[in-house]
Amino acid sequence: MLTDRFTVPPFSVLDARQGYWRARKAEWRAFGVRGEEGRREDLLGGGINSIMSRGGGLKYDRKNATATSVFDPVLCELIYRWFCPPEGSVLDPFAGESTKGIVAAALRLRYVGVELRPEQVAANEERVREIGPVLDPRPAWTVGDSSKLGEIVPMGLSFDLVFTSPPYYDLEVYSKRRDDGSAMPTYEDFMAWYLTVFRQAAERLLEGRFLVIKVGEIRDERGAQRGFVADNIKLFQSLGFHLYNEAVYVTPLGSVPVRASRHFPRRLKLERAHQAVLVFYKGDPRRAPAFAR
């Protein structure tokens, strides 16, 4: 079966509502990839070997599990297994919470994340300490401004994969700091800042490797869609990348039905229940390596 070979069927629709996806997500949550504070020590179950072997199951405590909103660990696992070589390295210019780093370390990848907020980095490091020494190599987060990536990550340090979920302009403002891209005064300012970040990230990506981002569409102050996904494609093509794959990431419904019942009758705006996963390749796409495992 495709799920046995690739964890999730490698289709252009990645459906997080499917049973196989939810079961794998539960295993990651049991391992320690959870957003809430605190963690029971007896949840490791099968431990790191179960995660590494893909098919193994970790002990899962349904009573103590929660639906905390964190980056989907299954999506992380897929990107790492499919688009990064074994024991490779990952650069994440917009780290956010700990999920991407923990999953990378659990899969024996070297992870470097850049995060603007020191309190978020402190929380991430605490989560790693709670999980313990099974994470090796340990994920590394650095406090810094991603637009100054060159000062944070030296040019001599190169990576096998760039993987991140950038801010969606003003959809969610993370802080009021001037160097926070989500707080930029205009969309044009944001995209100029965005280009600065990814130009530096691209310089640190090895030739013949992938850059993957998860993005979603956003609306302007009048309610029209900005075309943010299309702008991302144009931006990375301007940096010399080839669009190699485009997938629809179908997200759990959550409160979408409630919001739709309120908003659609008045504005005819469809409630978004998916995001885009864009896979870019640096180099000749005819020579793209097959990393899937």
Spans of all domains in the chain: 66-287
The pLDDT of 193-219, averaged and rounded, is 97
* Residue 61 in this model has a pLDDT that exceeds 70: no
C-alpha separations of 63 from 16, 43, 67, 143, 220 in Å = 22, 12, 12, 35, 41
Report the pLDDT value the prediction gives residue 226, as an integer from 0 to 100.
94
Residue 7: is its pLDDT beyond 80? yes
pLDDT of residue 59: 33
CATH 3.40.640.10 is held by the domain 66-287: no
CA angle 143, 48, 83 (to 5 degrees): 65
Give all strands (DSSP E) within 9-109, no chain letters. Answer: 13-15, 89-92
Region of poorest pLDDT, from 55-64, 101-110, 271-280: 55-64
Give the pLDDT band of residue 154 (cuts 50, 70, 90). confident
250 pLDDT higher than 70: yes
The reported pTM is: 0.86
pLDDT at position 45 over 50: no
For residue 48 the two structure tokens come to 């790191």
Calpha distance 163→103 (Å, rounded): 12
Q: Does the structure show a pLDDT above 60 at 218?
A: yes
Confidence of residue 60 (pLDDT cuts 50, 70, 90): very low
The arrangement of strands across the sheet holding 140-143 comes to 13-15, 242-250, 274-282, 205-215, 159-164, 89-92, 110-115, 140-143
Residue 171's pLDDT is what? 53
137 upstream amide cis, omega within 30 of 0: yes
